[in-house]
Amino acid sequence: SFLCPTWPSPSGAHGLREEPEFVTARAGESVVLRCDVIHPVTGQPPPYVVEWFKFGVPIPIFIKFGYYPPHVDPEYAGRASLHDKASLRLEQVRSEDQGWYECKVLMLDQQYDTFHNGSWVHLTINAPPTFTETPPQYIEAKEGGSITMTCTAFGNPKPIVTWLKEGTLLGASGKYQVSDGSLTVTSVSREDRGAYTCRAYSIQGE
C-alpha cells in the first residue's frame, strides 16, 4: 500500500511554502533540495536549527545548528551537507534516496515552540537497470520435462526483461512462456539446447 504524505498548512507558520517541490536526478548525480529561511523583518536574524526529515524515517536524517558539525544519518554520511542557509545537498544519490523530504527551520528566539519556514520536496531517482537475480551459467534439464530460468532487474523506471535464444528474441508461445522476467521452457528436447540471454532495458539504458 502507498501512503501519501500531507505537507503542513501555511497558516500560523511564517514563510512556509504552500506547494511542494519536485526534483528529479539520475543515480550517481548530485542534487539540492531547496529550503527557504525567512527571518523577521526587524532586528538581528535569530539563531535557528535546520532539520531535514525523510518521510517514513522517524528521526531527522540531517540536523544543523550554527557552526557546530551537523548530525547526519549513517545512510547519508559523507553525502549530505548544508547548501546556502537551509537547503540540503546530496551527493552520489541512490535509488533508495527517492521519496518525500521535509525541511523544518526552528527559530530559537521565539516564545513558542513552532517550526517556521521550511518546505516539502519530492525526490525522484532515475536509474538504469541492474540485475538482482540471474540464472546459473549452465543448466541441465530432463528431456520431456520443463525448466524455469529467472532473471530479475531493478531500476527506475521499472525495466522490461526479455529473453533471447542464440540472439533471437523469444515470444510467448506453447513452447516458451515469459512472465515477470522468468522464462519457462516446456517439453524440453534436444532442439532446446543453446545459449539463452536475458536482457533488461528502459529509457535509462540497459
Render pLDDT for 130-141 as a digit per residue (tens, 0 to 9).
888 888 999 888
Residue 23 has pLDDT above 90, yes or no: yes
Residue 204's pLDDT is 86
CA dist 139 and 141 (Å) reads 7
pTM, two decimals, is 0.69
pLDDT for the residue 5: 44
Is 13 a member of any domain? no
Backbone angles phi, psi at 59, to 5 degrees: -115, 160
pLDDT of residue 11: 35
The predicted structure's pLDDT at residue 141: 87
85 pLDDT exceeds 70? Answer: yes
Tell me the mean pLDDT in the region 7-24.
58
Mean pLDDT, rounded, for 152-163: 90
Would 78 be classed as within a structural domain?
yes
Rg (CA), the chain: 25
Single residue among 127, 143, 161 that ends a domain in this structure: 127
Q: pLDDT digit string (tens) for 28-58?
A: 999 999 998 776 666 666 788 999 999 999 9
What percent of the chain is modeled with pLDDT above 70? 84
In a domain, 57, yes or no: yes
Per DSSP, the residues of 114-181 read --EEEEEEEEEEEEEEEEEE---SS----TTS-EEEE-EEEEESPPEEEEEETTEEP---SSEEEETT
Question: Which residues contact residue 24 at a Cβ distance below 8 angstroms, ignoring those fewer than 6 apart?
Answer: 123, 124, 125, 126
Choice among 66-75, 89-98, 106-115, 152-161 with the minimum mean pLDDT: 106-115
Q: Tell me if residue 204 falls in helix, strand or coil.
A: coil
pLDDT digits (tens, 9 = 90+) for 50-74: 999 999 999 999 999 988 999 999 9
Residues 113 and 144 occupy one common structural domain: no
28 and 63, same domain (yes or no):
yes
Buried-exposed string 12-30: b where 16+ CB fall within 10 A, e elsewhere: ebeebbeeeeebebebeee
Together in a domain, 106 and 147: no
What is the average per-residue pLDDT within 133-153?
90
Identify the domain containing residue 180 by its residue range. 134-201
Statement to judge: residues 52 and 122 lie in one domain: yes
Which is more confidently placed, 5 or 172? 172
Residue 127's CB: how many other CB atoms inside 10 A?
A: 21
Residue 176: Cβ within 10 Å count: 16
Mean pLDDT, the chain, rounded, equals 84
Per-residue pLDDT at 10: 36
Identify the residue with better confidence: 39 or 170.
170
Q: Which residue, of 92, 127, 162, is where some domain finishes? A: 127
